[in-house]
């Protein structure tokens, strides 16, 4: 039963979503069924949110208790979760500092701490790209050298000064890079991967709907 029930639910919901895709949205009873099913996903997701909060607090607390390496960061995690969550859940009628509106504690922490920290993490990506590019573009073989030359040309073309210099060269280099490198070889490979991935996703969906694949339930 533990396996059968989810498979039946997956079949019924999957088939319903496939059928409603081909029906007009104005069709009585079934037209809006797919949207309603997707709403159910959000509702179920809301219920599981508590599981997430319990998980993060329990794991962090255990690390603090056992004084594992980096345990003091976990204190910051616990404090952050509580300081962000509790005032945002309290009713605004009690105080304008509660809730999630502008001027609330949650809003202040989000704007002044969380958003800058996320922006900082994103900004560090530039350094990671530099180190990854260094490794990827080392000209060890003929293929790697070709990749390096192409990458240098594309990067050069992407900056205004580079494009200006390329324009000084004989032949229309920017046009060549755009047409044959970016919209030629690059796009062809990307499309090949996308078509393969789309077919793979569709095949996996079908295997799940028909109950052939049950590995997502930990079976098989």
Partner 1 sequence: MGQEEYSVFRNDRINALLAVVAFSTAILVFTNWAKKGKPLFLRKIPGLDAVEEAVGRATEMGRPVLYIPGIEELDQIETIAGISILGRVAQITAQYETPLTVPVRYPLVLAAGQEVVQQAYIHVGKAEAYDKDMVRYVAGEQFAFAATVNGYMMRERPATNIYMGAFFAESLLLAETGNAAGSIQIAGTGRPEQLPFFVAACDYTLMGEELYAASAYLSHEPVMMGGLKGQDLMKILIVVLILAGVIMATYSVDIGAAFKSWFQAV
Chain contacts with partner 1 (rule: CB under 8 A): 18, 21-24, 26-27, 38, 41, 44-45, 48-53, 55-56, 58-59, 62, 69-70, 73, 114, 117-118, 121-122, 124-125, 128-129, 131-133, 135-136, 190, 193-197, 199-208, 210, 212-213, 215-220
**36 in the Ramachandran plot: left (φ > 0), alpha (ψ -120 to 50) or beta?**
alpha
Contact indicator for 34, 19 with CB cutoff of 8 Å: no
Q: How far is the CB of 133 from partner 1 (least distance, A)?
A: 7
Tokens of 65: 């208790």
Between 51 and 169, name the residue whose CB sits nearer to partner 1.
51
Between 158 and 164, name the residue whose CB sits nearer to partner 1.
158
Tokens of 90: 């309290």
Between 174 and 211, name the residue whose CB sits nearer to partner 1.
211
Q: How far is the CB of 51 from partner 1 (least distance, A)?
A: 5
Contact indicator for 98, 87 with CB cutoff of 8 Å: yes
Between 43 and 169, name the residue whose CB sits nearer to partner 1.
43
Q: Compute the distance between CA of residue 68 and CA of residue 53 in angstroms, rounded to an integer.
A: 21
Q: How far is the CB of 170 from partner 1 (least distance, A)?
A: 30
Q: How far is the CB of 209 from partner 1 (least distance, A)?
A: 9
Give, in order, the Cα–Cα distances in Å from 62 to each of 117, 179, 217: 25, 57, 28
Q: How far is the CB of 44 from partner 1 (least distance, A)?
A: 7
Q: What are phi and psi of 211, to 5 degrees?
A: 75, 10
């Amino acid at each position: 039963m533990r396996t059968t029930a989810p498979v039946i639910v997956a079949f019924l919901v999957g088939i319903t979503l496939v059928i409603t895709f081909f029906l007009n949205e104005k069709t009585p009873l079934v037209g809006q069924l797919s949207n309603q099913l997707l709403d159910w996903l959000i509702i179920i997701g809301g219920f599981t949110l508590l599981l997430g909060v319990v998980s993060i607090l329990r794991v962090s607390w255990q690390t603090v208790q056992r004084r594992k390496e980096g345990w003091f960061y976990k204190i910051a995690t616990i404090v952050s979760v509580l300081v962000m969550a509790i005032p945002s859940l309290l009713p605004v009628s009690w105080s304008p500092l509660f809730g999630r509106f502008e001027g609330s504690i949650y809003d202040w922490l989000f704007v002044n701490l969380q958003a800058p920290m996320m922006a900082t993490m994103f900004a560090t990506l530039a350094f990671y790209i530099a180190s990854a590019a260094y490794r990827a573009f080392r000209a060890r073989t003929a293929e790697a050298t070709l990749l390096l030359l192409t990458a240098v040309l594309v990067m050069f073309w992407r900056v205004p000064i580079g494009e200006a210099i390329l324009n000084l060269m004989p032949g229309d280099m920017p046009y060549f890079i755009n047409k044959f490198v970016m919209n030629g070889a690059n796009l062809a490979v990307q499309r090949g991967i996308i078509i393969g991935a789309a077919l793979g996703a569709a095949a996996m969906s079908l295997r799940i709907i028909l109950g052939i694949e049950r590995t997502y339930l930990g079976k098989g």
